[in-house]
Structure 1
Amino acid sequence: MGVNPVFSFANGGNTMQTPKEEMKRSLGLGSALSIVVGTIIGSGIFFKQGSVLDSAGDSTMAILAWVVGGILTLTAGLTIAEIGAQMPYTGGLYVYIEDLYGRLWGFLAGWMQVIVYGPAIIASVTGFMSILMTNFFGLGANWRIPLALITILAIGLMNMFENRVGAAFSVITTIGKLVPIAAIIIFGLFWGHHNALGQTVGEIHAASGNFGVAVLATLFGYDGWILIANLGGEIKHPQKILPQAIIIGITAVLVIYTLITVAVLRFLPASQIHTLGENTTAYLATAAFGPIGGKLLSAGIIISMMGTINGKMLTFPRIVYAMAKRRDLPFSRYLAYLTPKAKAPVVATVFIIVLATVMMIFFNPDRLSDLCVFTVYCFYTLAFFGIFILRKRNDASARPFSTPLYPWIPILAIVGGLFVLVSEVINDPAGVLLFIGVVIVGLPVLYLVKKLDQRRVAKAMNIEHPLDNDKDQ
């Protein structure tokens, strides 16, 4: 019996070939670091304070949840840094999974990012941002989707130019977001009068003490660090800069998030944070700095979130491009198009914009954020196991960066990944099944795309294709 040519690539690990690079390597450490920090610090820390507190049950456990989430993210970053330094190509997780587990698993990782995770995370962040924008402009809730749509279109348009444009915007917004962050930290720590530790919320019963769900919520706030890997083919000296950007960026964000959480809990009592929920940040800004100061602080946070959306809009089309170059997607010929001068994947960018808009209209941003984390951690965890495969496959000379405290750091990353998956399955089984189903739908899509591609090649070579024989019978 012959091997099915469509799925024959599913076995084995050494199938990956170095992609032909067509994008410009123009991003240095400053740009890479700003993209890491800019894509991480966005809506999560500003809008997840209430849900983390509700799930954790008290303020001490809420602070601990942010710390644990940061540590798990750092172990993940240290593990991926070693893998990414050995595969500095455009595509990130898609490239890593394919090299480690074969074309089929690589396709599913890429499909997950371009159909589920990427559009959903952009929709979620934009949805959260629209809440703050309507408060800022004094508009009703019916304005949230129009404002979010305008933002997505504007940022998407900007990323249709040379990558340095999006990277420069990332640097500006990363610097700009430090202003509201510093204001909240300084005011809360020095002028807050509540004890940040030991506060409980009497109104909560069912969710209290669910520490796993609390950590899961923080991981949305930390997510985005791996997106720099999608730009591996556009970074100067990626073997050196990629690990530096990931490790320095995650560590800095861990410290910032812990300080912000303590500051918020010192300024507002836990019971009030529970009541305010997603509006905690807007209320804190006005209460702390008055109407005008609150407006300025809210504007800074909006800019911060725009930077996050920009970082994601800059990176996710690169995954679409990488998959389209391999003809793994329908309409790959169009999705792989680069503008002649800027080498920007404009069609892939439009594709992400359309999917993000659909998800933004039909899904709640808070639920989207949790499901995003679950979906991507399925493949993160696979990638974490991959470090052991690479250690066995390659000698030390092939590793530009080695994960410290090996094998304990990767083991902790794997345990953390499994912890995330189990927690979300328990918390939202219906949503988990929906997102897994969307990922699995990628299998028949891949089969059809490859069959049609084989038929196209066969016709071009005037070779009779099995599908044509089937029609005659």
Structure 2
Amino acid sequence: MNHQPELNRTLGLGSALSIVIGTIIGSGIFFKQASVLASAGSSTHALLAWIIGGVITLTSGLTIAEIGAQMPVTGGLYVYIENIFGRRLGFLAGWMQVIVYGPAISASVAGFMSILITEFFGWPEQWRIPVAVVMIVAISVLNMFENRVGAFFSILTTLCKLVPITAIIVWGILHGHVTALGQTVTTVHQASGNMGVAVLATLFAYDGWILIANLGGEMKNPQKLLPQAIIIGVSAVLLIYTLISFSVFRFLPANKILALGEKATAYLAQTAFGQLGGKLLAIGIIISMMGTLNGKLLTFPRIVYAMAKRGDLPFSRYLAYLHPRAKTPVYATGAVMVIAILMTFFFNPDHLSDLCVFTVYCFYTLAFFGLFVLRHRRTEPRPFSVPLYPLVPLVALGGGLFILGSEVVNDPWGVILFIGVVVLGLPILWLIKTLDRKRQF
């Protein structure tokens, strides 16, 4: 009798926390200060946008933690939506992450990382895409080894990223001479968008908290560890982001931040710590983003694997393959890698990140509503219950709807494009099931 390899259940709380924190804290907090400020119109509103984004993320995490504790298996959102709302919506949730969200968010992080790397070495801008591609390939290959390797890399990079984070916070608060609150955008760029768009931009920086749910089948005690990792991890990131944003606004005038754009954090580092210190800080930020990209490319292939095991994807036989020794989905990892590489050639990282958040929040919002359905359907004791029910899931639901409405108003064509790609999954599902039925006869 052939024994099929299974995923290794080896991840503990330390690994889970490092994946949550390490996946969230990456490029967003270092690159999104200018875009959040431009949309918010003032430093006070920008800081408020970071806090609102954090609160929405925390309530979202608490809501998903209750669902995830009841469904502690590999697949995350794909499994949750299917179990609550049925096969088609579950498939679309998985398809969205496999084809749109996972590769796109990975490409976006790699794109932001390539900006810093080319700046660091003084390479021309045309090197950005090749550098992004190399980073995607290298970290994808890393995650084809046993999951302990990716988890160790997450722990290592999470510890490394504390250095630039601490340096920016301490230096900005102690040595900044700008009034952090009350600065209004008046020159350089005309403020555009609104608070909804500003909050949406912060949510890219907070993104990644749910990815630990994709590893439910590889955690030692997911009913207990999954809620702990999400709650502790998101709360820590909310505090860190608020302090970093305050420090940046205290060190640099608002219009200077807008003038520098994506290079604002690099300028702060070089100004504060000199040429050598600035480069060391830049290295820390690059390592931070490597950890984020590692978290994406560690977790998203698990969705591909979970869907392939159900026969929900083309070439499922290959995508569901686990390496017999490493117990990792090597072909699924390769598939996410290839799609992410393609996206680096066609999308600007900043625009890509906003559309990614919109797309995944369509299904987050559906899952938030699903908690109420699940509570009505299941009356047995739960491993974890969201506190202050129903207030917390209602805040998460309201925040999700607010984000969706804001993006529809401000970028309707981008929304139509990404929704179109998601809806294309339905004929794909129909074709797969039709071919399956023909093979059975």
Tell me the SS of whatever aligns to 2:173.
Answer: helix
Cross-structure match for 1:469: none
Structure 1 position 209, deviation (Å): 6.7
Q: Does 1:93 align with 2:77?
A: yes
Structure 1 position 366, deviation (Å): 0.4
Q: Does 1:441 align with 2:418?
A: no
Tell me the SS of whatever aligns to 1:174.
Answer: helix
Partners of 2:324 and 2:87 lie apart in 1 by: 29
Partners of 1:342 and 1:127 lie apart in 2 by: 29
Q: Does 1:70 align with 2:65?
A: no
| 5+ residue gaps, structure 2 | none
Cross-structure match for 1:276: 260
1:299 aligned to which of 280, 283, 290: 283
Task: Give the residue type in structure 1 aligned to 2:89.
Answer: W
Q: Does 1:414 align with 2:417?
A: no
Number of matched pairs: 438
Report 1:62-461 matches (<5 A). Answer: 62-203=46-187, 207-208=191-192, 210-397=194-381, 399-458=382-441
Structure 1 position 207, deviation (Å): 3.6
Partners of 2:33 and 2:112 lie apart in 1 by: 13
Residues 342-397 of structure 1, C-alpha deviation per residue, up to 9 Å, x if partnerless?
11100001100110001111100000000000000000000001111111121241
Q: Give the aligned CA root-mean-square deviation in angstroms.
A: 1.1
Instruction: Give the number of the structure whose alpha-carbon radius of gyration is greater.
Output: 1
Residues 245-271 of structure 1, C-alpha deviation per residue, up to 9 Å, x if partnerless?
000000000000000000001111001
Structure 1 position 205, deviation (Å): 7.5
Partners of 2:189 and 2:269 lie apart in 1 by: 29
Q: Any conservation in 2 of the 1:54–1:204 contact (CA below 8 Å)?
A: no
Q: Any conservation in 1 of the 2:64–2:368 contact (CA below 8 Å)?
A: yes
Task: Give the residue type in structure 2 aligned to 1:191.
Answer: H
Partners of 2:5 and 2:142 lie apart in 1 by: 23
Partners of 1:208 and 1:123 lie apart in 2 by: 25
TM-score, normalised to structure 1's length?
A: 0.91
Structure 1 position 327, deviation (Å): 0.4
Q: Any conservation in 2 of the 1:112–1:375 contact (CA below 8 Å)?
A: yes
Residues 388-421 of structure 1, C-alpha deviation per residue, up to 9 Å, x if partnerless?
1111121241x10000000010011000000000
Task: Give the residue type in structure 2 aligned to 1:76.
Answer: S
Partners of 1:146 and 1:248 lie apart in 2 by: 36
Tell me the SS of whatever aligns to 2:385.
Answer: coil
Residues 22-80 of structure 1, C-alpha deviation per residue, up to 9 Å, x if partnerless?
21110000000000001100010000000000000000000000000000000000000
Task: Give the residue type in structure 2 aligned to 1:156.
Answer: S
Partners of 2:359 and 2:190 lie apart in 1 by: 25
Q: Identity over the aligned pairs, expressed in percent?
A: 71
Q: Any conservation in 2 of the 1:135–1:282 contact (CA below 8 Å)?
A: no
Cross-structure match for 1:461: none
After the TM superposition, list the runs of 4 or more consecutive aligned residues in structure 1 that deviate by more than 6 angstroms. none
| 5+ residue gaps, structure 1 | 1-19, 459-473
Task: Give the residue type in structure 2 aligned to 1:446.
Answer: L
Structure 1 position 203, deviation (Å): 2.3
Cross-structure match for 1:22: 6
Structure 1 position 104, deviation (Å): 0.6
Task: Give the residue type in structure 2 aligned to 1:182.
Answer: T
Residues 199-254 of structure 1, C-alpha deviation per residue, up to 9 Å, x if partnerless?
11112776447111000000000010000000000001100000000000000000
Q: Any conservation in 2 of the 1:33–1:249 contact (CA below 8 Å)?
A: yes
